[in-house]
Chain A
């Protein structure tokens, strides 16, 4: 699957929401789901446990219709955050065009964020992709929580964003910052189009 298929005139973007458990990846997708008109979205597939933890992954296909003569589709995925589901994460990452790293702004989750970032890098590398070449944005979720419980976007930026990705404070539950994040990762992914590398990257 390639980002742009000139023959069938399709653009297919696969975007993976990555991050530690309970950071709000599924919440991001759910908010997007509520905002997309019915005729533009597919069924959101969510495989969750009884306690609402993502077991495998969420999948939300969005049809953006014809853009510049290209049938444009976005596929949004989340990975299960819990440490022991790494095999699933690796699977979901396969062929990803871009990654949204959803960080949990809570102070006590900082280590989990860092661990998850490292895990992302390792998994991406196993697919033979240098994480530095992969379009990525970082979302600092749960910024609506009380000040004393969370780190500010600046502090999180210092701690997590050493590669200088675009970052977005967010409150996914209420939708703040969700579409900004999606717009940013789309722009990053589509920029690859003009670089010409996107089409060739995965053949």
Chain B
């Protein structure tokens, strides 16, 4: 539809009642698409909507003649659309509509009658706006009051600037009247137009009607109209003009009760349904404030579909709780890893979970028992029969039979071997079980390193998840208060969970110096057994086994000789055999009684104990073994010691 050349900004009378609308329209005409898009202008009938909307078209064309300005009323828009659809040209229609730089649609309140057009208009408005093209609409009421208008369209139309125009005030009315009179080159007596302005009219169109009537009267009358005459003329049939304001308001008043009810319900529903948006919005603000990614919730807001807000929000906070839990867990293992973005994004819970699991798995398990030291290699004899039986029972029924098992005995009698043998048996019995088997010295060192590295909690966790803990040479914790405390807590945690604990020490629990009483009583709470020096038959077995291990065949008398030599520990027996073997190697002969006797007794003056020690201990062994304190030389006959069972 062509723009009416009379409807320009120049002919538009601006007053207080329409100033905002006029300046908004000017701004849009000056820079289409960049300000107030869309511009939605609403006013009652006859107040200048059509004038102003067309003035925007003119104004824009004056500045940029190349612009494609399209003005049409909604009815025309609907007609064109229907014609296009009927001709199967709806796409062409859309394309041409989208090519407009400025789309001006008048009287969109009639959208209420055209539901199908609402979707079309919404689509078109979106397309134009996203292309930076201007949309301007007029209506006799704000979008929210247009019946049956799709909520999305309401929000789309209200998204730019919503501006209304009121009925003109006295001054504006007078200015309009003067302009109309000027246009008709009609001169009225002074006071006449003022009187007309005073009489007032509901809208400009009516006002123009009043002027027209005066002009018509004047044209046929020789006498100029006086103000009184004008008043008499216009109010003579004042019933008509006085009633005139009513029709302007009428459409709303005459709406039946059902329509009023319908719009009330529509408002309620819109408010209620929009409440979910604000709830989701609040959640977004909250979680973003705490540094979490809220892409999922923002996605919800993008959708037109109303989601199940309750479930979505619940799931989201559940995911965040999970993340917090994982982050806390990871922080104990690796502080820096907990700060990773994956712990701030509820959409990456699975990733975070996998990461935590990896970290959990990846933590070095506590030291396992040495695989070389098993029950198979352990030499049993009368002297240690009871102890070994107890150890085997523990291995068979961990945690239930004797917990803890405390093995005491002097150095070199096989405590360490026995402890590791129990550990290996436990590991063999339940594959996958975590068996911690280490010396107390190593335990202390690990603890110190953990405290130093700030990984104490990780270290604790590492041991607490063990299925059995075996600690050798536990007398080493003497005086180490922190270790004792940790051990105490570990002891309690594992014992409560019926996990097996095994300790060994060079003395009985009660003899442990500088160890907290609460630990000692716990050590005694299970079974305390004592290993003693090997007896003759055990020594014989050991000698045989050692010689076999070296692949040396020996006469029985040699074996008997070696076994009969005084030796207070397994290590001492080993030393004897080693000396015999080295003598044999030196003489490059077989192992005969003579070589052995020379080797053992040749320097049998036993010059000094220190020499004896150094000769007993093969070079390259743990230097602690060569310390005088570790070796007890005058071993009392304790072969038949009783083992006590306290429970």
Contact = CB atoms under 8 A, between A and B. Distances in A.
B206 to A, nearest CB: 32
A47 interface: no
Given A37-B258, A187-B264, A67 B275 contact: no
B537 interface: no
Q: Which of A68, A69, A179, A187 has the most CB of B within 10 A?
A: A68
Interface string A107-124: 000000000000000000
Contact of B273 (A40, A65, A70): A70
Contacts of B256: 35
A186 B257 contact: no
A69 B261 contact: no
B270 to A, nearest CB: 5
Which 3 A-B pairs give the minimum distances between C-beta atoms? A193-B272, A194-B275, A190-B268
Residue among A11, A64, A72, A199 with max Cβ neighbours from chain B (10 Å): A64
B304 interface: yes
A175 interface: yes
Contacts of A36: 258
A182 B261 contact: yes
Nearest to B258: A35
A42 B436 CA distance: 79
Interface in A35-67: 35-37, 40, 64-67
Given A179-B257, A182-B261, A200-B310, A193 B270 contact: no
Contacts of A174: none
Contacts of B260: 179, 183
Given A35-B256, A40-B258, A183-B261, A65 B148 contact: yes
A37 B310 CA distance: 36
B361 interface: no
A192 to B, nearest CB: 8
Interface in B233-267: 256-258, 260-262, 264-266
A186 B310 contact: no
A186 B273 CA distance: 14
16 contacts: A35-B258, A67-B270, A68-B151, A68-B266, A70-B273, A70-B306, A72-B265, A179-B260, A183-B264, A186-B261, A186-B264, A187-B264, A191-B272, A193-B272, A194-B273, A194-B275
Interface string A6-45: 1001010000000000000000000000011100100000
A190 B257 contact: no
B264 A193 contact: no
A69 B150 contact: yes
Contacts of B299: none
A35 B275 contact: no
B272 A190 contact: yes
A74 to B, nearest CB: 8
Interface in A80-137: none
B269 A196 contact: no
Interface of A: 6, 9, 11, 35-37, 40, 64-70, 72, 175, 178-179, 182-183, 186-187, 190-194, 196, 199-200
Contacts of A200: 310
A186 B265 contact: yes
B308 interface: yes
B224 interface: no
Contacts of B306: 6, 9, 69-70
A194 B272 contact: yes
A6 B310 contact: no
Size category of the B interface is 20 to 34
Contact of B257 (A9, A35, A192): A35
Contacts of B308: 6
Given A6-B308, A183-B264, A68 B257 contact: no
Contacts of B272: 190-194
Interface string B276-308: 100100000000000000000000000010111
B309 interface: yes
B271 interface: yes
Contact of A196 (B264, B268, B307, B310): B310
Contacts of A182: 261
A124 to B, nearest CB: 23
A34 to B, nearest CB: 10
Contact of A64 (B262, B275, B309): B262
Contacts of A66: 148, 150
Given A37-B258, A66-B150, A178-B257, 14 more contacts: A35-B258, A40-B258, A68-B273, A70-B269, A70-B273, A179-B261, A182-B261, A190-B265, A190-B269, A193-B272, A193-B273, A194-B272, A196-B310, A199-B310
A66, A178, A190, A199 — most chain B CB neighbours (10 Å) = A190
B258 A67 contact: no
Nearest to A199: B310
Contacts of B307: 6
Given A186-B268, A187-B264, A69 B258 contact: no
A137 B481 CA distance: 75
Contacts of A37: 258
Nearest to B272: A193
Contacts of B152: 69
A142 to B, nearest CB: 20
A72 B269 contact: yes
A66 B261 CA distance: 14
A28 to B, nearest CB: 13
A200 B270 CA distance: 19
Contacts of A192: 272
Contact of A194 (B266, B271, B304): B271
Contacts of B151: 68-69
A167 to B, nearest CB: 18
B385 to A, nearest CB: 71
A200 B309 CA distance: 12
Nearest to A41: B258
A9 B303 CA distance: 14
Nearest to A182: B261
B447 to A, nearest CB: 53
A30 to B, nearest CB: 14
A52 B298 CA distance: 57
Nearest to A179: B257
A192 B268 CA distance: 10
A197 B375 CA distance: 69
A7 to B, nearest CB: 9
